[in-house]
Chain A
Amino acid sequence: MSGRSPQDILLVEPSSLTGSIIVATARQLNLPVVRQVNSVRMAQQRLSHESYAGVIVSLDEQEQEAVALLEQVRNDALAVSADVPVAVTTTQVDASTAVKMKALQVRRVLIKPFKVRDVIATIALLKDR
Chain B
Amino acid sequence: MQEPPRPANEPDRLQALRQLLILDTPPEERFDRLTAFAAQEFDVPTALLSLIDDDRQWFKSRVGMEQCETARGISFCGHAILQDDIMVVPDVNQDERFIGNPLVTGEPHIQFYAGAPLKLPGGQNVGTLCLIDNKPRTLDDIDLAILGSLRDLALEELVRREQGAPTP
- Chain A interfacial positions (CB closer than 8 Å to B): 17-18, 20-21, 24-25, 28-29, 113, 115-117, 120-121
- Chain B interfacial positions (CB closer than 8 Å to A): 33-34, 37, 40-41, 141-143, 145-146, 148-150, 152-153
Q: Which residues of A contact B37 (CB under 8 A)?
A: 17-18, 21
Point out the residue from B33, B142, B148 that lies within 8 Å of A120, measured CB to CB.
B142
Q: State in angstroms the CA–CA spacing of A114 and B33 once bound together.
A: 16
Q: Which residues of A contact B152 (CB under 8 A)?
A: 24
Main secondary structure of the interface of A (DSSP, over half): helix
| A17 and B33 contacting across the interface, CB-CB below 8 Å | yes
| B146 and A117 contacting across the interface, CB-CB below 8 Å | yes
Q: State in angstroms the CA–CA spacing of A129 and B4 once bound together.
A: 48
Closest Cβ of chain A to B122, distance in Å, is 22
B140's nearest neighbour on chain A, judged by CB, is A117
Point out the residue from B33, B34, B40, B142 that lies within 8 Å of A25, measured CB to CB.
B142
| B153 and A20 contacting across the interface, CB-CB below 8 Å | yes
Give the interface centre of B33, B37, B40, B143 by most chain A CB atoms within 10 Å: B37
| B143 and A117 contacting across the interface, CB-CB below 8 Å | yes
Q: Which residues of B contact A113 (CB under 8 A)?
A: 40
Main secondary structure of the interface of B (DSSP, over half): helix
A25 in contact with B41 given A17-B33, A20-B153 (CB within 8 Å): no
A28 in contact with B145 given A17-B33, A17-B37, A21-B37 (CB within 8 Å): yes
Point out the residue from B33, B34, B142 that lies within 8 Å of A29, measured CB to CB.
B142
Closest Cβ of chain B to A14, distance in Å, is 15
| B145 and A25 contacting across the interface, CB-CB below 8 Å | yes
Q: State in angstroms the CA–CA spacing of A120 and B145 once bound together.
A: 10
Q: State in angstroms the CA–CA spacing of A17 and B35 once bound together.
A: 12
Q: State in angstroms the CA–CA spacing of A116 and B149 once bound together.
A: 11
Q: Which residues of B contact A29 (CB under 8 A)?
A: 141-142, 145
| A21 and B153 contacting across the interface, CB-CB below 8 Å | yes
Q: State in angstroms the CA–CA spacing of A86 and B73 once bound together.
A: 51
B37's nearest neighbour on chain A, judged by CB, is A17
Q: State in angstroms the CA–CA spacing of A97 and B41 once bound together.
A: 26
A124's nearest neighbour on chain B, judged by CB, is B142
A20's nearest neighbour on chain B, judged by CB, is B153
Q: Which residues of A contact B146 (CB under 8 A)?
A: 21, 25, 116-117, 120
Point out the residue from B34, B40, B148 that lies within 8 Å of A28, measured CB to CB.
B148
B40's nearest neighbour on chain A, judged by CB, is A113
Closest Cβ of chain A to B143, distance in Å, is 7
Closest Cβ of chain B to A107, distance in Å, is 19
A121's nearest neighbour on chain B, judged by CB, is B142
Point out the residue from A17, A18, A20, A117 that lies within 8 Å of B142, measured CB to CB.
A117
A24 in contact with B149 given A115-B41, A116-B41 (CB within 8 Å): yes
